[in-house]
Structure 1
Amino acid sequence: MKTTERPAFAQLLTDVLAYYRQDASRFVLDLWWNACEAFDLDQIRKAIQAHATDPEHGKFAPKVSDVVRVLQGTATDRAALAWGKTLEAMQTVGSYTDVVFDDPAIHAAVEDLGGWVKLCRCDLKELGFMQHRFTEAHRAYVGRGRFEYPRRLVGDRSPDLEYEKRGLPAPKPALIGDADRCAAVYQGGNAGGKTAITFKSVAQLAVRRPMELPA
């Protein structure tokens, strides 16, 4: 969802909880927003309706986990779908183009496998092993909730600086999936990789935190 949709989301949730004779406190609204922000407002409406019309679970007010479960499916299902999307991009886009997926967990999982180029160029006999590692990593990142990831998966191309020297724009990355979500993934990621890395000399470290020797 976009930030501008938060009032509509809050009103939707307030109406739903009122149906179940519950109040929507600020804490509750914030909790729901943080859990559902990655989804479309229309998807959330449908998920809540699916819960409300469920003969067994619909008798009780929906919890965040109920709606997220409907939206995401199980972690195993989502990881399998993510691998299918990644495999299709490997075959259609290839290793020479930067890519941005609409799922940040794909970026983090691909980075764990050595990056976009390495994954695209792995041997067919390694593909089953790569799939297993990818789905395991994807499930782990989804379960973590918040994690670092590269804003784009870099292809085997010339650096941006080479294009700048020639007065040419750097090639745009291929967007895989929903364009708005791809933009959100790009904006939320790190420029250099999953983890920001800096270098300092030993002398600088010693000045800030003197080394303590054992007695």
Structure 2
Amino acid sequence: MTLVVLCASAQAADAGRLFRYRDAQGVMHISSNLPPGQAQAGYEVLDSRTLKQLEKVEPRLTPQQLAERARQRQRAAVEAEEAARARRADLAKQNRDRMLLQAYSSEQEILRLRDRKLGDLERIGRGIENTIRHLRQNLADVDATIAAYRDDGRAPPAVVLERRASTENDLSEQLEFAARIRAEHAEIVERFAADLNRYRLLTGSLRTTAHP
């Protein structure tokens, strides 16, 4: 008995539905049956009494459409990441501005800190250059000793060759150190110039100073 009622209910539900779709020529149809293959082209399910839409089934996408949708999603993801990156950059800029105004009460404070850092680096740089001059002189002395041995037809002692290798290695390290100091010096000059310009913009000060 129960099975009969269920079947009758199912038939009544099917009888209450209509399908609305467009055929390959673009002609609209409303029918109680959905033609073979129409499901892939999309259709609507309507209430047979009110013709109110109950469900809409979108057409199945072609491989080209799927590829285009994937490209659109990728573009959207890239645009979203770029927007997020821009927001982070703007937030970082705001934080930097706030820290700049909190750290300095005047342009002179910025210049004094810059000059102090540059002075420290310049002292270190002078020490390195002095070391480099000594190492070059030592290397020249060792080379002269080695040349003297070879002029006499003798092989230079191992200890002399080892001293040359050690001196050459020390010289290479000091030259690299000097290059890093010069790069840091340039970075400080550039960074403080940017800080000073930004500070002037934030405080509305456009006056010049005696410092470069």
TM-score scaled by length of structure 1: 0.20
Larger Rg: 2
Higher RCO (CA < 8 A, seq sep 6+): 1
- The structure richer in helix per residue is 2
The alignment's TM-score, normalised by the length of structure 2, stands at 0.20
Higher strand share: 2
